Structure 1
């Protein structure tokens, strides 16, 4: 193993009673509700926006702004911008939201992204990429690629590029890795210096933990992931195509990454497998596994969720410091902070 490869595993030994209670509440709530697949997509989206589903309702940040990036297909890609409250602008974190490539929107994440921006001094740019089934693969990844290129090339106004990080939750973590691979393979570029990957789905042919999870809907169940994939990926695509399922891609040349997942997340194997492959490809990886954590447990108030958010901020702060320290000093220029 080369000296540049680091794997740091942080696993809390004791089970988490608070998360176990939360899991019971979530499972009971979802068991009392009709299947989301019994409603039209727009009805589920509206209910999610109103906080009628399992996730909290919207709490928009008063300081957030939205800019639109014109895309090659003639549509506009909305990007929600949150700047650190103290006026710092030390870099930019490009964020992709979760929701199974079908649901979710950037504004859902305002409270967590506000805390991340203020803790790290990074501007946050969260992308409202096109959603399936109206816009199946590769529409969403194409939008994410377009925004990543525009950011790296300085075409997004007032977003600093001295340090760039990328990340997201669930489908957003998948899109983050797909975007990194596209930048490397299609553009010969790797402008992002850190990846924050939370409970991603990296093999759309379904890993063992997804296949074996069963019918209990703890945020998601086995059938839910299959339904998402069927609506997101047209049948003409091989589910093991690396552009669809990045777990099957060549992974060398990617930035240091923080992987996070809970043991009660049906996507547990996706994170364990991807973090191991990331490391084996010669990249740096850190892995946090939270006992009793459900899928994206950070979306719910808990001590474990707070610890996870702090670990994400710490990772990004450390990476920015490493990048700043690695740059040659300019004669007469002030030292990097």
Structure 2
């Protein structure tokens, strides 16, 4: 099976405009408050959520609703549901938000999820999984797997209004999307290749011992080398580095056989670029349908933070992939 690396040419003027935007964005972020500088991660989340200290509160979809799911240890997992406005939903995308396992929520990216819902005709169900450092691995993964098991159940399909078709997320959410799919197959005997159309993993981390692109990264556009490591230590710091090649921690080392089709999407100015490249290669080598797309002049989070035509291109790539896999 051939790894389908989709070449997307960008003319020089467009590329230079993107690079200029990234330079300006990096300068703008240089003095921003980091979660490590706050009294607690919870205090930082509150500032982001409420638009305090220079942050802009996320725009919310007024038509979103919530569903609570019982987790395995009694935790109530909230799903935030956004349905297509003008068409019947043909399925559910279970979404895992970005935020380095530490920040963000299922209400952080309503604009992005609403766009995908309307363009794909899918119901987006975003998981409010528990966050580090208060809840470190494996609790966030347990929440996501339990949410997926609910979505696959008759009761879940009835409540959500459609069958589960896609697991997808960005950054830490990319790790959660892949790890949830692996857990469903490994631990719960779910035939994920038949049950799901696709997994969509945007600029995820898949090796918690760190890949060369992270170790050599020098810029700080949304995410720096040290920032990513701080996030990982908050979520996985209780696990010695020598043990982090365990497939439960670093899915790059997992048995990837019999998994659904997957899109691994990244920009080329990205500390986690190698994670997507390596994971796509391993996914393909295991016999799974795989596409890897690297967008020139795009940085971390380029699909969920508005960055002009690079964002538009990223969304088009996701929509095209999921639409094609829905007709399999």
Tell me the TM-score normalised to structure 2 length: 0.91
Are the counterparts in 2 of residues 10 and 287 from structure 1 also a CA contact under 8 Å? no
2:276 aligns to what? 271
Q: Which runs of 5+ in 2 are unaligned?
A: none
Distance, in Å, in 1 between the alignment partners of 2:135 and 2:184 is 22
Q: 1:226 aligns with which of 224, 229, 235?
A: 229
1:166 aligns to what? 167
2:257 aligns to what? 252
Q: Are residue 31 (structure 1) and residue 36 (structure 2) matched? A: no
Partner of 1:155, secondary structure, is: helix
Distance, in Å, in 2 between the alignment partners of 1:54 and 1:173 is 28
2:85 aligns to what? 85
Partner of 1:293, secondary structure, is: strand
The 5 Å alignment of 1:174-185 reads 174-185=175-186
Partner of 2:143, secondary structure, is: helix
**Cα distance, 1:275 vs structure 2:** 0.8
Distance, in Å, in 1 between the alignment partners of 2:289 and 2:63 is 35
Are the counterparts in 1 of residues 6 and 291 from structure 2 also a CA contact under 8 Å? yes
**Cα distance, 1:55 vs structure 2:** 7.6
2:189 aligns to what? 188
Q: Are residue 217 (structure 1) and residue 211 (structure 2) matched? A: no
Q: 2:297 aligns with which of 287, 292, 297?
A: 292
**Cα distance, 1:87 vs structure 2:** 4.0
Partner of 2:25, secondary structure, is: helix
Bigger shift: residues 301-310 or 278-287:
301-310
Are the counterparts in 2 of residues 29 and 54 from structure 1 also a CA contact under 8 Å? no
Once the two structures are superposed, what CA deviation does each residue of 1:123-156 show, in whole Å capped at 9, x if it has no partner?
1100000001001100000000001111112332
Distance, in Å, in 2 between the alignment partners of 1:117 and 1:55 is 26
Distance, in Å, in 1 between the alignment partners of 2:55 and 2:5 is 30
Once the two structures are superposed, what CA deviation does each residue of 1:59-110 show, in whole Å capped at 9, x if it has no partner?
1001100010011211200000011001411011110001000000111111
The 5 Å alignment of 1:92-107 reads 92-107=92-107
User: Residues 53 and 230 (structure 1 numbering): CA distance in 2 closer, same or farther, change over 3 Å?
Assistant: farther
Runs of 4+ in 1 over 6 A off after TM superposition: none
1:303 aligns to what? 309
**Cα distance, 1:297 vs structure 2:** 1.0
Tell me how many residue pairs correspond in the alignment: 318
Alignment RMSD (CA, Å) = 1.9
Tell me the TM-score normalised to structure 1 length: 0.89
Are the counterparts in 2 of residues 169 and 198 from structure 1 also a CA contact under 8 Å? yes
Distance, in Å, in 2 between the alignment partners of 1:314 and 1:163 is 19
User: Residues 53 and 10 (structure 1 numbering): CA distance in 2 closer, same or farther, change over 3 Å?
Assistant: farther
**Cα distance, 1:161 vs structure 2:** 4.6
Q: Which runs of 5+ in 1 are unaligned?
A: 323-337
**Cα distance, 1:19 vs structure 2:** 2.2
**Cα distance, 1:203 vs structure 2:** 0.7
**Cα distance, 1:25 vs structure 2:** 1.9
